[in-house]
Amino acid sequence: MNDILLSIRGLKTYFYTYRGIVHAVDGVEFTINNGEVVGLVGETGCGKSCTALSIMRLIQDPGKIIGGEVIFRGRNLLEISEDEMKKIRGKEISMIFQNPTTSLNPVFKIKNQIIETIFEHQDIKKDDAAKQAVKWLEATGISSPYERIENYPHEFSSGMQQRIMIGIALSCNPSLLIADEPTTALDVTTQAQILDLLINLKKEYGMSILYITHNLGVIAEICNKVAVMYAGKIFEFADVIKIFKNPLHPYTEGLLRALPKKSKVEKLQEIPGVVPPLIDPPLGCRFYSRCDKSKEICRNAEPKMLEIEPNHFVACHIVSKSR
């Protein structure tokens, strides 16, 4: 069960802008095993979505993947041709996005939009593709799928649209689903429905999920493992329970302490300062200026990701020294 499906090593994606080189993804490393839900969590602009797009090789100008490896089932996706990549996108790895309203094409019936993906990757007759499309609508919990499949996107609520997106993404039985903040634009009750749907579909079809979000509650609810990202780097990667019960990196600790408390008297812990610029990022640890435990070494040398405990990776000088 625990075979590695996707392994990312030293991934670097830079954006070459007029103002300088933006180090959006700067040496990201983590792995996803078969059947696992891995959460990628971090604040706005830390490079979460950029990491996802790099895996899919969907980075556009002026961005460029300049280094690292994305090993998917033994093949480095950064080295194969665009034609081969097209066979992987949508079939082996598919993706759903934050805003379902803009991800669906408003001028086509949703039927055509589901069939398009199926046609692209399978040698199949049109009628059979249509049948499959209906099946996927049903699987994602849309009632009366035979009638609804003839509708246009605007005739659905945003929760329904996200269900359709999930249906499209799963229509070729991918082994990895990348979900980029799929519930951020939705209300809590709708979010609960979508999370429930994802968990059930995962049980049924057994795909792995890379779940990107800034919501720690959602992470706790559906993920097996968590990668904490900050300013283009992964700071901590471990089991979900370890991250929440025994966070080792000072940034992870700070993030958890900043969550609103149940008790109203307790003051929320703040993380002082702001995220460093990604153009010319600081030399040493990127969290140095905001960290309350930092020492001299943190300013000059960049910490490496080390396995501090079995399957608990942390990139921090202070943590690795204390062990």
CB-nearer residue toward other proteins: 174 or 281:
281
Binding other proteins (rule: CB under 8 A), the pick from 75, 102, 259, 307 is 259
Instruction: Determine which residue in the list 190, 205, 253, 289 makes contact with other proteins, applying CB under 8 A.
Output: 190
Question: Other C-beta atoms within 10 Å of 106: how many?
Answer: 9
Between residues 43 and 69, which has the closer beta carbon with respect to other proteins?
Answer: 43
Closest CB 290 distance from other proteins, rounded Å: 9
Nearer to other proteins, 115 or 255 (CB): 255
When asked if residue 195 is in the footprint of other proteins (CB under 8 A), the reply is yes
Nearest Cα to 42, choosing from 282, 223, 227, 182?
Answer: 227
Say how far apart CA 159 and CA 194 lie, in whole Å. 7
Is residue 48 within 8 Å of 234, Cβ to Cβ?
A: no
> For residue 64, what are its two tokens?
């460029």
Q: Distances from the Cα of 307 to the Cαs of 19, 236, 301, 313, 315, in angstroms? A: 37, 10, 18, 4, 9
Report if residue 122 touches other proteins, rule: CB under 8 A.
no
For other proteins, which is the closer residue by CB, 23 or 48?
A: 48
Q: How far is the CB of 302 from other proteins (least distance, A)?
A: 22
Nearer residue to other proteins within complex by CB, 128 or 270: 270
d(CA 86, CA 103): 18
Q: Which amino acid is located at 175 in the chain?
A: S
Q: x/- binding map, residues 128-167, to other proteins, per CB under 8 A?
A: -----------------------------x-xx-------
* CB proximity list for 193: less than 8 A, separation 6 or greater: 141, 159
Closest CA to 9 of 40, 31, 38, 24: 31
Coil, strand or helix: which one is 177? Answer: strand
Pick one of 171, 193, 208, 252: the residue that binds other proteins (CB under 8 A): 193
Under the criterion CB under 8 A, does residue 240 sit at the interface with other proteins? yes
Residues that bind other proteins (rule: CB under 8 A) add up to a total of 42
Which residues are at the interface with other proteins (CB under 8 A)?
A: 43-44, 157, 159-160, 187-193, 195-196, 214-221, 223, 240-241, 244-245, 254-256, 258-262, 264, 267-271, 274
